[in-house]
Structure 1
Amino acid sequence: MNMWKECKSLQEELVKTRRELHQIPEFGFDLPKTQAYVIRILEELEIPYKCSSKDSGIIAEIKGEKPGKTVALRADMDALKIQEENDVDYKSIHDGFMHACGHDTHITMLLGAAKILNQHKEDLQGTVKLLFQTAEELAKGSQVMIEEGGMDNVDAVFGQHIGSIMNKDIPSGKVIIVPGCCMASYDRFSIKVNGHGCHGSTPEKGIDPVNIASHIVIALQEIIAREVSAVKPAVITIGMIHGGVAYNAIPSIVEIEGTIRALEEPVRQHLAKRIKEISEQTAKTFGGAAEVEIDWGAPPVTNDNEMVELATNAAKEVVGETNVVTEIPAPNMGGEDFAYYLQKAPGAFFFLSSSNPEKHTDIPHHNPHFNVDEDVLYKGSAMFVKIVEDYLK
């Protein structure tokens, strides 16, 4: 059918859509402006949809004229709590929030694909589900989408991520698709260290949670150094430590937060188990106590080999064989809650590079200066359309 080729004609429209979405970033599960924007376009296209009863997620459906399989395409919609520092006329109008991970483009590219697919629904043999998901940054939105029926009767699922997330040296416009595990699990942990506050001049009268927290931070790194095989990638990172109100006072509480990443579920479970044990026992050693919470995020993203082959062949058509990367030195240690969809149906998660130093779009994700090379937007839409063509043919 080659309907994917029509996506190029949408490029100017896609840029406009992306910039409008970029200005209204919202965080977490409640994305009222973003939801309203997507609904408006779906209604203009006369694509039926239903809204989640639990968050701002949207499930839309394009039914082909002929019966067949059902394929799901996913876009995440949430932004980050980051103050944008880009000097552009489409800068975020929501103070303290920014689309610093490209989710505005994910929505845009899926809406573009939806427009073309809907125009050709009489040629489709099967159904296309469009999943507009919240709270990917919290690793929770895909689970809500699944609870709301997003993956009911789905035979295959596909998603993509824009930017320089895999490697900033991969030029803009290239598509990266790899079999097996392509992204790590990601979970958050918090440790509340309880001591007993006192004056800084008489530390013997209290129990110092700052000292305990310091020992815990150092001890946790020994899990990676001495308990996990060197050939099994794993990460424990402390991102936040809070405690104290005065330079000369020992506080009663210090709070620690961090993240764990792993490529294998047994390693993931071991990290969580040992963080709890080491924190509690270290605190006890110094006379304090530690309360540990593991906020489970998402498991590793593991692609289905058959769906990877299908997506790879689609990419070779859309961007050309020389612009398709099928091998990387190691999986990315970033995480994605798309992993939960892959537990429900075979599928593939792939990456569209927008890294272009000349346009300053090679800046890392989650950075206040993050931006994308908008010239690739139609390629993302075309990838979705071509995958649907090939899967439902």
Structure 2
Amino acid sequence: MTGPTDLPSLPDARLAGLLAEARELHPKTVELRRAIHRYPEEGLHLPETLAKIEAALEGLPLETTAGKGSTALTAVLRGGRPGPAVLLRADMDALPLHEETGLGFASTVPESMHACGHDAHVAMLVSAAHLLSAHAGELAGSVVFMFQPGEEGYHGARHMIHEGVLDAAGEQVERAFALHVYANLPSGVITTRPGPFLASADRFSVRVTGKGGHGSAPHQAIDPVPAAAAMVGALQTMITRRVSVFEPAVVSVARIAAGTTSNIIPEVAELEGTIRTLSERTRALVREELPKVCEAIGQAHGCRVLADVEPGYPVTVNDPAEAARVLALAGDALGEEHAEPMLDPLMSAEDFSYVLQRVPGAMAFLGACPPGTGPADAAAIHSNRVLFDEDALDHGVAMHAAFALDALR
């Protein structure tokens, strides 16, 4: 497979050799992944995870910088000749889940688990640093390795950007790449697409205040429950009537709460949910319309309404040329059967979107469906039963290396 005519790639034989080199690193890749998996940490402060990464990078010709407001780590590999900088990223944090995989290296921390594969992301990037260090003389420029905490809702990428990760090599990063393991894809397959790759994610909350009373006399109260229930349906109608059918948008009410017992009309009802869109224009429209709908319904029911939208991650948008480059490199480095164009974006979200707002680049999924299970039947990411094929990690290591070597050839 070759890329567009304006994006020449390295010779096929050289790229194909990267996978063999990645396989030589496989034992160390798996060892680090499992060590991190056993002791998951959440949020922006991951001291044990950071210590494991630093130990695994020891001895490599890297310039490292620790985060100021978090346990982020930035490492820079200088090439044999001057040139631009390219960034490779791995997120590090876990999720608040009780693991039920039955793995021999399952989490030892109660109610905490690497259910999104970030342990694999770290292990792949560390091995890519080893592989690329062996090829440093061939690089015309620098590689910035971005080990990022706080992806799961803590805006870790934004913190690292504010602290200078995009300028860590002494000049602005020109290209960026990230991989995310995915259990519902065939193992070893790389898939991505140009343009929107993942959705934005905003959180909304609505507090509906009426007047409490006895359940036998609702006419003497102002019941917030029917008002809140009407909002649930009206928000779906809002999407179909205010947003173009050609502009995807999702509004999901994920939590509704009111009352304490069966014979008391409560004073307050609450709604919480998520907004997902694939363009900033649609995102702005939904964020503007949602409070209007809820406030109007509340007024009709005689209730006071406080509707709030908390901004989350923006749309993850791949640069078309870089997405095409990733697929071309996957075909050359892993074999054409391991490069698969992604037809539709997913409505999940990622804070690598902050990097792609500033730097041309791409994010891709790495299939890691566990052996003996079909992709459609595998437990998905964020499940406490999710499993990943560790043989797929070699493909990820090779892809990181291929992206950097091609960008800095």
Question: Shorter-normalised TM-score: what interval?
Answer: over 0.9
Name segments (4+ residues, structure 1) moved above 6 Å: none
Please say if residues 207 and 268 of structure 2, whose CA atoms lie closer than 8 Å, have aligned partners that are also in contact. yes
Query: Is 2:379–2:386's contact at 8 Å kept on the other side of the alignment?
Result: yes
Say which of 327, 332, 336 aligns to 2:350: 336
Give, as a single letter, the amino acid of the residue that structure 1 aligns with 2:89: R
User: 2:245 aligns to what SS in structure 1?
Assistant: coil
User: Where does residue 5 of structure 2 map in the other structure?
Assistant: none
Query: What CA deviation, in whole Å up to 9, does each residue of 1:18-69 have, x standing for no partner?
Result: 1111122222222222222222223353533112111221111111121111
Structure 2 CA distance for aligned equivalents of residues 50 and 252 of structure 1:
52
What are the residue-to-residue correspondences of 1:149-188 with 2, within 5 Å? 149-152=164-167, 153-164=172-183, 168=184, 170-188=185-203
Change (3 A) 1:209 1:124: same
* SS at 1:335 equivalent: coil
Determine the C-alpha separation between the residues in 1 that align with 2:52 and 2:332.
31
- CA gap of 1:391–1:279, structure 2 versus 1, over 3 A, is same
Amino acid at match of 1:102: G
AA in 2 matched with 1:229: S
Corresponding position of 1:48: 63
Deviations 1:283-331 (A, max 9, x none): 2221222222212112222111221232222101222112211241x21
3-state DSSP of counterpart to 1:317: helix
Residue 43 of structure 2 contacts residue 154 of structure 2 at CA under 8 Å; is this kept in 1? no
- Structure 1 residues 45 and 200 mapped into 2: Cα distance closer, same or farther (>3 Å)? farther
TM (normalized to structure 1)? 0.94
Name the TM-score, length of structure 2 as normaliser.
Answer: 0.90
Which residue is 1:291 aligned to?
306
Does residue 376 of structure 1 match 2:392?
Answer: yes
Equivalent residues in 2 for 1:297-316 (5 A)? 297-316=312-331
- Following superposition of structure 1 onto structure 2, how do residues 95-110 of structure 1 map, counting pairs within 5 Å? 95-110=110-125
Please give the alpha-carbon distance, in whole angstroms, between the structure 2 residues aligned to 1:162 and 1:55.
Answer: 24
Aligned pair count reads 388
C-alpha change, 1:201 and 1:368, in structure 2 (3 Å) is same
1:197 Cα deviation from its structure 2 partner: 2.5
Map 1:80-229 to 2 at 5 A: 80-138=95-153, 140-152=155-167, 153-164=172-183, 168=184, 170-229=185-244
In structure 2, the gaps of 5 or more residues are: 1-13
Q: Distance in 2 between matches of 1:205 and 1:132?
A: 59
Structure 1 residue 216 displacement after superposition = 1.2
Q: Output the CA distance in 2 between the equivalents of 1:271 and 1:234.
A: 8
Aligned partners of 1:310 and 1:390 also within 8 Å: no
Aligned amino acid, residue 340 of structure 2: V
Unaligned stretches of 5+ residues in structure 1: none
Query: Do the aligned partners of 1:139 and 1:336 also contact (CA within 8 Å) in 2?
Result: no
Letter in structure 2 aligned against 1:147 = H
Percent same amino acid at aligned positions?
37
Partner residue of 2:372 out of 341, 358, 383: 358
C-alpha distance 86-214 of structure 1, shift in aligned 2 (>3 A)? same
Opposite residue 124 of structure 1, the aligned amino acid is L
Aligned ranges 1:236-275 → 2 under 5 Å: 236-275=251-290
CA contact (8 A) 1:263 1:300 kept: yes
SS in 2 for 1:352: strand
- Distance in 2 of aligned mates of 1:354 and 1:327: 16
Deviations 1:159-207 (A, max 9, x none): 111114xxx3x42111102112222111111112222333323333332
Report if the CA contact (8 A) 2:32-2:123 is conserved.
yes
CA–CA distance in 1 between the matches of 2:93 and 2:307?
Answer: 28
User: Is 1:390 the counterpart of 2:397 in the alignment?
Assistant: no
For residues 46 and 20 of structure 1, what CA distance do their matches in structure 2 show? 24
Q: Matches of 2:173 and 2:181 in 1, distance apart?
A: 24
* TM-superposed deviation, 1:228: 1.6
8 A contact 1:69–1:125 mirrored in 2: yes
2:92 pairs with 53, 73, 77, which one? Answer: 77
Q: Report the 3-state secondary structure (helix = DSSP H, G, I; strand = E; otherwise coil) of the residue aligned with 2:25.
A: helix
With over 3 angstroms needed to count, the CA separation of the structure-2 counterparts of 1:94 and 1:209, relative to structure 1, is farther
Q: Does 1:348 align with 2:367?
A: no
Secondary structure at the counterpart of residue 332 of structure 1: coil
1:139 deviation in Å?
5.8
2-side partners of 1:69 and 1:283: how far apart? 56
- Spell out, residue by residue over 1:191-228, the C-alpha distance to the aligned partner (whole angstroms, 9 max, x if none): 12222333323333332222221111111111222222
Counterpart for residue 63 of structure 1: 78
